[in-house]
Amino acid sequence: MTGRGTNTYVLGHGEGVVVIDPGPADRVHLDQVELLARGRGTAALVLLTHHHPDHAEGARDLADRLGAPIAAIAHEHAPRLDRVLVETTFELPGLSLRVLPTPGHTRDHACFVWEQESAVFAGDLVAGEGFIVIDPPEGDMTDYLASLARVRDLPAGDARGPRLLLPGHGPAIEDPSGYLAGYIAHRLQREEKVRAAMPIDGWRSLEQLLPLAYDDTPEVMYPVAARSLEAHAIKLVREGRAETSGGLYRRLASRRIG
Ligand SMILES: [Zn+2]
């Protein structure tokens, strides 16, 4: 599920070198990251966008090699953290990095906003290719959509929204507002398909809903789609647009407001 691998970012210089998402515990990869970081100066921070092993497994080894603290939002499956992140801004030489909690993919997910460049290190909020898996109960579709909107709406000088997204997987995204709008529209369209697949006068299981709500998706992707389907179903129930009983779901008529 990592595409061509995980992107590790090394930025800053002098006393303020930062490594974002060291990646898996792959010796050759960590050697290269260490070399890159040392070439720029002294490592001040190893940052994690979230605890998933493809981003964080190599963090402890790299942090020890570089003598730099690991900082991330707390999570029971995170590597041992030297600093627990909250919403804050790191001021390093020539570099301001703002921590932006963006839960949804995981509870501990954060993006890092490089203020001078209006660039966002996006972790698994978005991928440069394809879509992100939302896997409940860790994954939460309500939070995820709010996090997408939060990054879309970041102030950036006179404009709104960042100039560049640097994801954990796939290439950089140079049209963040269009890309994020597309991501949000994709999820909301899927949510409507999930809701439409739920009967009003009967019940369907998630297994029954899957081929109806994902009729445009190859069957080989069904195990992954099933996780996002459940995330959508949980959100619909939470919003009073569907109800569930004994693992079965049904649609509730739209509530009129006002
Ligand atoms: Zn992940």
pLDDT per residue over 182-233, tens digit each? 999 999 999 999 999 999 999 999 999 999 999 999 999 999 999 999 999 9
Give the helix/strand (H/E) hosting 140: none
Pairs from 4-11 (Cβ < 8 Å, separation ≥ 24): 4/169, 4/170, 5/169, 6/54, 6/55, 6/168, 6/169, 7/166, 7/167, 7/168, 7/169, 7/170, 8/33, 9/121, 9/166, 10/36, 10/37, 10/40, 11/95, 11/114
Is the predicted pLDDT of residue 256 greater than 70, yes or no? no
pLDDT per residue over 23-81, tens digit each? 999 999 999 999 999 999 999 999 999 999 999 999 999 999 999 999 999 999 999 99
pTM summary value:
0.93
pLDDT per residue over 108-118, tens digit each? 999 999 999 99
Is the predicted pLDDT of residue 121 greater than 70, yes or no? yes
The band of 101, judged by pLDDT with boundaries at 50, 70 and 90, is: very high
Average pLDDT over the chain reads 94
Separation of 124 CA from ligand 1 center, angstroms? Answer: 5
Protein residues placing their CB within 5 Å of the ion ligand 1: 52, 124
Active site residues: 54
Separation of 21 CA from ligand 1 center, angstroms? Answer: 11
Separation of 158 CA from ligand 1 center, angstroms? Answer: 32
Rounded percentage of the chain residues whose pLDDT exceeds 90? 91
